[in-house]
Chains A and B, each alone.
Chain A
Amino acid sequence: DTEVTQTPKHLVMGMTNKKSLKCEQHMGHRAMYWYKQKAKKPPELMFVYSYEKLSINESVPSRFSPECPNSSLLNLHLHALQPEDSALYLCASSQVQGTYEQYFGPGTRLTVT
């Protein structure tokens, strides 16, 4: 099973709202990722967690706050977003060592109004 699940599928939020995106995988992967993807662009890495610890933060604004509560779950907390943050947010996971295949979830389509 190479499934990564994400909830919700769609999210509309105002600029003063606080919301969270959730990601889950049960493949035993110990690396999990958040990407942002704008229309007609490749995915853009935001954060990487390795063994539940933040290992890469690609200079993402603090209005995005990641959390990895355990090896299967990854959250992205959103607060005071801007309209330009509207995008498809993708979660991915991979084994940390041995192989490098990253498996992506279906994404959350976020619209900031």
Chain B
Amino acid sequence: QQQVKQSPQSLIVQKGGISIINCAYENTAFDYFPWYQQFPGKGPALLIAIRPDVSEKKEGRFTISFNKSAKQFSLHIMDSQPGDSATYFCAASTQGGSEKLVFGKGMKLTVNP
């Protein structure tokens, strides 16, 4: 069954702290793992993505860590800011272009000032 499990469901951190969101998958055919950020009433925005040939990718304060053997990947948000408060979705898909993105259930992040 194609499924992506995301945890935790919600997270509260203080400004300047590190936010960590974890995802796990079963389908070894997945080869593309994006993270989306969604603010209330808005569409999801692509934040950062990784492919299995690398173990880590960093863009500014956002880092994806990927563990192929464990079939897990995570998003780290360094120096979390109140403006990062949003819902974060991990996702996965298989090679082929217009393939189906399988989403995790999402995590609501609240960053307190």
- Report if A66 contacts B (CB, 8 A): no
Which of A33, A42, A97, A101 is in CB contact (< 8 Å) with B104?
Answer: A42
| Chain A residue nearest in CB terms to B43 | A104
Q: Interface residue count for A (Cβ, 8 Å)?
A: 32
Question: Known interface pairs A42-B105, A42-B106, A101-B49. Does A48 touch B100 (Cβ–Cβ under 8 Å)?
Answer: yes
- Report if B46 contacts A (CB, 8 A): yes
Residues on B with beta carbons closer than 8 Å to the beta carbon of A101: 34, 46, 49
User: Across the interface, do A104 and B44 meet the contact criterion of CB distance under 8 Å?
Assistant: yes
Closest-CB distance, A23 to chain B (whole angstroms): 11
- Report if A72 contacts B (CB, 8 A): no
- Report if A71 contacts B (CB, 8 A): no
User: Across the interface, do B105 and A95 meet the contact criterion of CB distance under 8 Å?
Assistant: no
Where the two chains meet, the residues of B that have a C-beta atom closer than 8 Å to any C-beta of A are 32, 34, 36, 41-46, 49, 89, 93, 95, 97-101, 103-106
28 sampled A-B residue pairs with Cβ under 8 A: A2-B46, A4-B43, A40-B106, A41-B105, A42-B106, A43-B44, A45-B100, A48-B98, A49-B98, A56-B98, A92-B43, A94-B97, A96-B97, A97-B97, A100-B32, A100-B34, A100-B49, A100-B95, A100-B97, A101-B34, A101-B46, A101-B49, A102-B34, A104-B44, A104-B46, A106-B43, A107-B42, A107-B43
Contacts A4-B43, A31-B98, A43-B44 known; 16 new A-B pairs at CB < 8 A: A33-B98, A42-B103, A42-B106, A43-B101, A48-B98, A49-B98, A50-B98, A56-B100, A90-B44, A96-B97, A98-B97, A100-B49, A100-B97, A102-B46, A103-B46, A105-B43
